[in-house]
Amino acid sequence: MKAKGTSAQTALKRVGVFSRKLSKLPNLKDLIGAEEIVFFPRSSEAEGLDAVIAWGNKPNTRRPAAFAHRHGVQLIRLEDGFLRSVGLGVSGEPPLSIVVDDVGIYYDASAPSRLERFLIGGQSPDPLDDADLQDRARGCIERVVSEGLSKYNNAPARPVDLPPTETSRVLLIDQTAGDMSLQYGNMTPQRFQEMVQAALVENPKAQILVKTHPDVLAGKRKGCIAKFTDNRVHWIATPASPQALLSQVDKVYVGTSLLGFEALMAGCEVVCFGGPFYAGWGLTDDRSQLPRRTKARSLEQVFAAAYILYSRYVSPIDGQPTQIETIIDHLARQRQGFERNAGHFVCVGFRWWKRPLIRPFLSAPGNRVDFVSDADQAAAKLTLDHRTRYVVWGRKETPAIDALARRTKSKVWRMEDGFIRSVGLGSDFTPPASLVLDEAGMYFDPTQPSDLENILQTTNFSDAERTRAQLLRHSVVSTQISKYNVGDTASFTVDASPDQRVVLVPGQVEDDASIRLGCVDIATNTDLLAAARRCCPDAFVIYKPHPDVVSGNRKGRIDAHKRNELADMVVEDVSIHRCLEVVDEVHTMTSLTGFEALLCGKRVVVYGLPFYAGWGLTTDSHKCERRTRTLSLEELVAGVLIRYPRYLHPQTGAFTTPEVIIEYLSTQREQSSQIGLKTPWLMRQLRKLWMAFKSSRKTR
């Protein structure tokens, strides 16, 4: 009977699934392009199906295969893609890519597959001859290698600790026993023995390395290469980044592992004892017969066929279909974050409710994060050395930790909220979407350098960064996203005369470290408001108290009589961007509002030394001698919002970008039922407990 339905490369409407586990795969419909999934379809429903899907070519796919054959429905086989995820599939992490095959499956060398047909060709013109596609593939290969990407991406990015050698290094790739690619790729236990012997005989002077599979290291599977003793052999039995390892070897022996193709991308010589999808095209030294594969293909063509034409991808943010470049960017960002977090963090003096919120920002495979109350507890309970990094909140004095860091020849890093943080106040235990971690100092402390100041003072920003910063600035302004995103977003009007200058004076928390460290002669909200009035005697002055002060969480209230005497208008439960819409300029001590006003193109008068002052963009009352450079607004934005903070998506827990966080917070604000800033004390405390409870559950 002729099978009906559609090719795996075209859209599907209704597909049948006979596996409960497969039906629960996240984003399945988007990955396969289906509109509806029918779970365990009956024979009477077969007529309405476009296809039946099954995972790979395992024995449990016999039932869907028989159903498809019996009713003349297309059978489509799925498998993990070649850039799958950060963590392991056997540990439960869902895939970001899969392959969809309506012919066979790529690892079955005994029969055709959709991927093999792409590579054999026959179409006119041949899609793989397209120069643009090859250029795209070449760019992706360069990114995969330079960013150290692989199918799984949870291994440490550092180079593998290998014994020194003056000879070449040869790598043998072990695989998991029972893997379907071995059964269908002509790899038996005997073939693995032959591969080992060939590597030893053909490379008599080389150092031999054996790479254990990640699933074996995780205790989920057993390997295929039996333990053997040879003084030239070194077993790699610790997690290792494939590309980091491949950069240290010259030649690779493989059965059917994807690592063989990753070795080709890394420029290694590859010997194949099985029949993986990349063998038989003239790129590898093949020890198996692959009679159907007679056409020579370039590395770019094989990559394009497998990773671009054959694979499908979904966004890690919203699960919608996307392109390979999005997944490369995402996986590279995770690996960059992991590399930055490698080692041992000792977080000192953090309040109980902050601990589960900040731990994800410090996460990395194989690293360690400990929380202690003080330096004495750290020294008594933990093993500390030069690789330890001590993390403290803000810029409070920490002489005991500083002394401990000197003794262990390590460093103290300081953490604070980022500039695009949340929908809700930090003092209400709302989880942050961004944090900064500063090795040199802290951005709000002008008494010494900080990582941010060093970025702004020394970085040669590229044209691409400036363009990105310009778009990011427009996004912040158009979405009206700020640090906390609280207050009424409805427009309001001011009773100023048509020619009267309107000035905004944002209040601050008066015991905040940015006031204590960043102010010279004006350090209270009363004095700030008075200075603004002296500077602008004829202006219409709007005073906006800080949200933490309005909520009652922090210090900084102005006497009502004095406030009314100096200000023409007081706004409390109104968003900062609505305020910026109606004013001409902002007068501030060190408030982030000054930076947000610059984004909106407003004049900013500064009475203290905030991070955005001293670069030629503000009217400054004081000078920081270290800041000698004149920046464009785009360069300031690139340093402040792109290079300096760490962003973590509150839903996925993955490292992300400011652009994604702006979109997320904008959506959250629209859906939010935030308690107002003047909520009664008891209601606010209950909300804090609820936020702390939710955060602790997310990190379990």
Lowest mean pLDDT among 20-29, 307-316, 628-637: 20-29
- Residue 3's pLDDT is 40
What CATH number does the domain containing 365 carry?
A: 3.40.1010
* Cβ contact 548:554 at 8 Å: yes
476-523 pLDDT, tens per residue? 999 999 888 877 667 778 989 999 999 999 999 998 899 999 999 999
Encoding tokens for residue 68? 């498809």
Residue 677 lies in a domain: no
- Residue 366's pLDDT is 83
Number of domains in the chain: 4
- Residue 397, classified by CB atoms within 10 Å of its CB into exposed (0-12), middle (13-18) or buried (19+), is exposed
Instruction: Provide the pLDDT confidence category of residue 691 given band limits of 50, 70 and 90.
Output: low
Host domain of residue 491: 463-661
Residue 415 lies in a domain: yes
- Residue 697's pLDDT is 55
Residue 180 lies in a domain: yes
- Whether 448 and 470 share a structural domain: no
Residues 6+ apart with CB under 8 A from 689: none
Q: How many residues in the chain?
A: 700
Mean local confidence (pLDDT), 343-364: 93
What CATH number does the domain containing 161 carry?
A: 3.40.50
- Residue 33's pLDDT is 85
Residue 322 lies in a domain: no
- Residue 29's pLDDT is 87
- Residue 690's pLDDT is 58
- Residue 699's pLDDT is 47
- Whether 166 and 286 share a structural domain: yes
Encoding tokens for residue 262? 């990753």
Instruction: Provide the pLDDT confidence category of residue 124 given band limits of 50, 70 and 90.
Output: confident
Mean pLDDT of the chain: 90
- Whether 52 and 114 share a structural domain: yes
Which of the listed residues 644, 661, 678 is the one where a domain comes to its end? 661
- Whether 216 and 285 share a structural domain: yes
pTM: predicted TM-score of the whole model, two decimal places: 0.88
What is the enclosing helix (H) or strand (E) of 356?
A: helix 355-358
- Whether 610 and 481 share a structural domain: yes
User: What is residue 272's three-state secondary structure?
Assistant: strand
- Whether 178 and 310 share a structural domain: yes
- Residue 137, classified by CB atoms within 10 Å of its CB into exposed (0-12), middle (13-18) or buried (19+), is buried
With 90 as the cut, is the pLDDT of residue 669 above it?
Answer: no
- Whether 491 and 629 share a structural domain: yes
- Whether 400 and 347 share a structural domain: yes
Residue with the bigger pLDDT between 623 and 680: it is 623
Residue 327 lies in a domain: no
Q: Which of 605, 596, 597, 598 is nearest to 539 (CA)?
A: 605
Encoding tokens for residue 443? 């951005």
Which of the listed residues 418, 436, 458 is the one where a domain comes to its end? 458
Q: In sequence order, what DSSP letters do the residues of 211-257 get, joined into one string?
A: EPPHHHHTTSS-BSSPP---TTEEEE-S---HHHHHTT-SEEEESS-
Residue 326 lies in a domain: no
- Whether 561 and 433 share a structural domain: no
- Residue 166, classified by CB atoms within 10 Å of its CB into exposed (0-12), middle (13-18) or buried (19+), is exposed
- CA torsion 535→537→543→546, rounded to 10°? 20
Residue 353 lies in a domain: yes
- Whether 433 and 403 share a structural domain: yes
Lowest mean pLDDT among 70-79, 208-217, 368-377, 398-407: 208-217
- Residue 228's pLDDT is 79
- Residue 630's pLDDT is 98
- Whether 108 and 245 share a structural domain: no
Distance CA 372, CA 141 (A): 44
- Whether 70 and 106 share a structural domain: yes
Mean local confidence (pLDDT), 51-80: 93
Residues 6+ apart with CB under 8 A from 1: 69, 72
Distance CA 251, CA 259 (A): 12
Instruction: Provide the pLDDT confidence category of residue 24 given band limits of 50, 70 and 90.
Output: confident
127-155 pLDDT, tens per residue? 999 999 999 999 999 999 999 999 999 88
Q: Which of 611, 344, 629, 622 is nearest to 451 (CA)?
A: 611
Percentage of the chain exceeding pLDDT 70: 93
Distance CA 337, CA 321 (A): 24
Residue 302 lies in a domain: yes
541-559 pLDDT, tens per residue? 999 998 878 877 777 889 8
Distance CA 480, CA 576 (A): 8
Which of the listed residues 409, 443, 458 is the one where a domain comes to its end? 458
